[in-house]
Amino acid sequence: MTPKRIAVVGARGYSGLELIRILNHHPLIQKVSAFATQNFNFSHWPKVDCHTMEHLPEADADLVFLATPAETSLELAPQCLKRGQSVVDLSGAFRLKTHSYAEHYRFEHTSPEWLKEARYGLQPWLQDHSIPTSGPVLIANPGCYATAILTALLPVLKDKLIQPNSIVIDAKSGTTGAGKKAVESQLFAEVDQDCLPYRIGRHQHLPEIQEACLAWSAIQIDPFMSTSLLPVRRGITAAVYARVQSGVSPKQIEDSFRQAYVDQPLIRFAAIEDQADLLSLRKVVGTARVHLAYQLMGDKLYLYSALDNLLKGAASQAVENMNRIFDWSGHLGLEHLEALA
């Protein structure tokens, strides 16, 4: 396995910083070039060279991570790809195949040819045969809410255990999900001791959830979806509720998750009565894992998902996608990440 050279664009943002931290300890990363709009220094991370954005065209990199706003990724990704560099984009610039970018991201998409080539990088659902083996690869890293919700929902939807028209989603995120830019509504004094819903029924991650469900289960869904802001720095907890099909048993639910994730070290799952601590954000924040818990009561299925929005919801899943592009083990370089509490 040949060590690789990596560039991280947007290195001063929350997700960019997590990428730098992970890559500095990755055993097969030879060098990391970090790029941002302002001068900065990561002297405590020896693998990392720091540059401002005007030097990006000179980047000596096999792969570029774009931890940038969607409009910036839309501009930079084609440039990197034309230089022969694979790209893992952490924004929403290349996630949607059929939904309107004007409606959900408020810009017109200007690279339809690369949008067509982009692979939606939900791990572990993205299959190896779907990743091109020659030429540069473009992976659209999923959104944080989408990762939490899809990881819980896809097994039972794909196995046709639930009624698609009954799905309700209630998801909550820490404030770092909004990025590092100063916004009044994310100030400590505004969010402390509160839990505020936002973008009810119109979150930009909803269309990618719908497209992914159709792609991997062949089922179209139109769920109720509500998102809320938690007074914590990081972490996502998502609850998915649905009615099961007639006669579905708890064992069928367990078998569905086991079949999907039994060989996935970064996904832990169990019935709530067997392992209730999987519901705890403190057990998963700081790790690259997703924790899934489920409970069937009559014909009502309760699914819960918890992850770190900056790691599995962004940076560590992006590293999983990099590992897959280079045909390395998906969890390589992520085993050392441990819960913060």
- Which of the 8 DSSP states describes residue 92? S
Assigned token pair, 210: 């719908």
Q: How far apart are CA 301 and CA 340, in angstroms?
A: 30
| Domain range summary for the chain, segments of one domain joined by + | 4-141+314-325, 145-307
pTM: 0.95
Q: How far apart are CA 194 and CA 226, in angstroms?
A: 16
The pLDDT, as a whole number, for residue 304 is 98
Per-residue pLDDT of the chain (341 residues), as tens digits, is 899 999 999 999 999 999 999 999 999 999 999 999 988 888 788 789 999 999 999 999 999 999 999 999 999 999 999 999 999 999 999 999 999 999 999 999 999 999 999 999 999 999 988 898 889 999 999 999 999 999 999 999 999 999 999 999 999 999 887 665 656 666 666 778 888 898 899 999 999 999 999 999 999 999 999 999 999 999 999 999 999 999 999 999 999 999 999 999 999 999 999 999 999 999 999 999 999 999 999 999 999 999 999 999 999 999 999 999 999 999 999 988 998 76
Which ranges in 222-309 belong to alpha helices (H)?
Answer: 250-261
Report, at the CATH architecture level, how domain 145-307 is classified: 2-Layer Sandwich (3.30)
The pLDDT, as a whole number, for residue 46 is 79
Angle at the Cα of 187 (from 184 to 191), degrees rounded to 5? Answer: 110
CB 235 within 8 A of CB 310: no
Q: How far apart are CA 89 and CA 81, in angstroms?
A: 12
Which residues are catalytically annotated? 144
- The 10 Å Cβ neighbour count of residue 284 is 26
CATH top class, domain 4-141+314-325: alpha beta
Nearest C-alpha neighbor of 242 from the set 125, 155, 313, 120:
155
- The 10 Å Cβ neighbour count of residue 250 is 15
User: In the structure, how many helices (H) and strands (E) does the chain have?
Assistant: 9, 14
CB 314 within 8 A of CB 234: no
What is the DSSP annotation of 175-229? Answer: GGGG-SS--GGGSHHHHTT--EEESTTT-THHHHHHHHHHHHHS-----EEEEEE
